[in-house]
Amino acid sequence: MNASILLGYTEAIRRRLHGFGCWSQPAYGFPGTPPSAIVYAVPEFLWGMSVTIGPAMPPLRLGVNVDHVATIRNVRGGQYPDPVRAAKLAIAAGADSITAHLREDRRHIRDDDIARLKAEISKPINFEMAATDEMVAIALKTGPHAACLVPERREERTTEGGLDVAGQHNMLASVVARLIDAGIRVSLFIAAEPRQIESAARVRAPVIEIHTGPWCDALGEGRRDAAEAEWRRIRDGATLARGLGLEVHAGHGLNYASAETIAALPEIVELNIGHFLVGEAIFEGLADVVKVMRAAMDRGRAKARQA
């Protein structure tokens, strides 16, 4: 292995571990290690877990977004249905983490939902947030496992488009640094565009989440050529990001079929899915639809391993 490839793997390892809240130091004084080695201190929540850097296909995690459980609650007010109860049901059915987006206008998730999720659930919280002073302060106070920075406009029905990391470099670099310094894993919700992916690496975000909405919309509307073009963009973007040492997630608009398809991309290690699951839960029950989604993702991963 030549020096440049070795350096690339070292940087990939550093990004992955630092993104999980690990810290590193030179190996001076550690018996049996060369002077150039780096020793990583791993937080307790990662003990027993493996961090895959090489070509082996890692497991695929499922993050369940409970925002739209809160949307239904807020239509009439009161406490029901409870997004925290939904989170617990999703975890029992196989979810690896819970995503919740605290918007500026509090249209679905509320501040007390975030506090209760942090206090009551047994899996990591992925706190979706705009990169504003208010949300950064809440994230630092709450201390979720992860924070996903997303664009946000009051007039939109749902998140439209990805962050413009290239155009907001200085601001986002500062927010990313503050969150990482607090031990929070940071991801950036972006389109699968090389300029944005490369900018994500430059602001030192350890994770990106690829916006799959345009691909899913094209699939649902039967626009085959557009869907194929979006799929190539996602595939190539995931490859580029992984080559830059970024961890790659994906989400927005995914259903059983599209989740099974995208699960075959080995670079992607986490899917975050919410609206479809909450909608199907009306007919089938939340626990059952999470299990069906988990099975669809596992089928997609298995096909890729056999290929």
- Of 68, 108, 128, 260, catalytic: 128
Torsional class of 179: left (φ above 0), alpha (ψ -120 to 50), beta (otherwise): alpha
Output DSSP code: residue 126: E
For residue 253, give the amino acid letter: G
Q: Which positions ≥6 away from 302 have C-beta within 8 Å?
A: none
Which one of the listed residues 252, 267, 270, 280 is annotated catalytic? 252
Task: List CB contacts of 94: < 8 A, sequence separation 6 or more.
Answer: 62, 290, 291, 294
> From CA 305, how far away is CA 34, in angstroms rounded?
36
Task: Give the Cα separation of 19 and 180 in Å (integer).
Answer: 7
- Whether 128 sits among the annotated catalytic residues: the reply is yes
Question: Is 2 strand, coil or helix?
Answer: coil
Using alpha carbons only, what angle is made at residue 87 by residues 295 and 127, rounded to the nearest 5 degrees? 105
Instruction: Assess whether 104 carries a catalytic annotation.
Output: no
Catalytic residue among 68, 101, 145, 211: 101
Residue 268 backbone phi and psi in degrees, to 5: -90, 125
Active site residues: 101, 128, 252
